[in-house]
Structure 1
Amino acid sequence: MDDSSQPSTVDVDKGFAITFVVLLFLFLIVMIFRCAKLVKNPYKASFITTEPSLS
């Protein structure tokens, strides 16, 4: 019998943890780019447009 033929067990908790960390890093990278764009040009990057009212 060869010992290397043992079935490899999949650790589900480790997979969830790695997936969570990867998604967290992706979210962090996206937030860094959005914040950098906001700092670079705050008026163009903002979602709320404040137009002066005529009243």
Structure 2
Amino acid sequence: MDPTSLPVARLDVDVDLGFALFFFFLLCFFLLVTIVRCAQMVLDPYRAVTVTTYQEEQSED
């Protein structure tokens, strides 16, 4: 039997495509986290302010 006629099981992996997809999904993840954080700040802006800073601002008025 000719050795070149045997089926060769090899894995064709495009490394550049893998890196591009990895960084694309990483970018999408950070974008999603940023959107969630911004939405939280818009809905409740005073939650991010510490209590002492908020009290100091109120006592100056």
Larger radius of gyration: 2
Unaligned ranges ≥5, structure 2 = none
Corresponding pairs, count: 52
Matched, 1:25 2:28: yes
Task: Name segments (4+ residues, structure 1) moved above 6 Å.
Answer: none
Superimposed CA distance per residue, residues 27-54 of structure 1 (whole angstroms, 9 cap, x where no aligned partner)? 011001000000001111246x352478
Matched, 1:12 2:39: no
Unaligned ranges ≥5, structure 1 = none
CA RMSD of aligned residues (A): 2.3
Which amino acid in 2 is paired with 1:43?
Answer: Y
Tell me: higher relative CO, structure 1 or 2? Use CA pairs within 8 A at least 6 residues apart: 1
The structure with the greater share of residues assigned to helix is 2
